[in-house]
């Protein structure tokens, strides 16, 4: 079956979104837990949502790896750092430092270098 190439790349984008969402939900779970026991953890809605996101991330990531080499797809997972940094500032009022910004710039340069050297060939 023919699918446009953007469909395949959307698996990578969704993997980033689901992984970042899981991290955000885990943070919400941590700050809303009533106590540190198995019952309170397993009944925490944010914890459950985080696990669902991790499961969905695994599913779409496997789909991405069907169509792209790991050496091409994996650097994009670094984009999770961008999403989490912005979300932590907006949702949790956590600070963004120059070290954070410098780190993200270095990650961006690395992603650019690695993705240009990798083929990005779609296996159909």
pLDDT of 2-35, one tens digit each?
677 788 899 999 999 999 999 999 999 999 987 7
In a domain, 89, yes or no: yes
The enclosing H or E element of 106 equals helix 98-117
117 pLDDT band (50/70/90 cuts)? low
In a domain, 123, yes or no: no
pLDDT of 34-69, one tens digit each?
778 888 888 999 999 999 999 999 999 999 999 998
pLDDT of 72-96, one tens digit each?
888 889 889 999 999 999 999 999 9
Q: What pLDDT is recorded for position 6?
A: 80
Q: What percentage of the chain reaches a pLDDT higher than 90?
A: 61
In a domain, 93, yes or no: yes
Owning domain of residue 12: 5-117
In a domain, 35, yes or no: yes
Cα distances from 10 to residues 15, 40, 41, 47, in angstroms, run: 8, 35, 32, 25
d(CA 15, CA 12): 5
Nearest residue to 61 (alpha-carbon basis) of 48, 70, 51, 50: 70
In a domain, 84, yes or no: yes
pTM: 0.84
């Amino acid at each position: 079956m023919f699918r446009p190439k953007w469909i395949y790349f959307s698996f990578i984008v969704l993997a980033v979104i689901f992984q970042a969402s899981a991290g955000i939900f885990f943070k919400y779970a941590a700050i809303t837990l009533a106590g540190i026991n198995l019952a309170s953890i397993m009944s925490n809605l944010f914890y459950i949502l985080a696990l669902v996101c991790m499961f969905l991330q695994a599913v779409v990531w496997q789909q991405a790896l069907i169509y792209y080499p790991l050496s091409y797809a994996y650097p994009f997972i670094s984009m999770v750092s961008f999403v989490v940094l912005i979300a932590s500032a907006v949702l949790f009022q956590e600070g963004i430092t120059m070290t954070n910004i410098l780190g993200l710039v270095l990650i961006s340069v690395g992603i650019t270098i690695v993705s240009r050297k990798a083929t990005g060939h779609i296996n159909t």
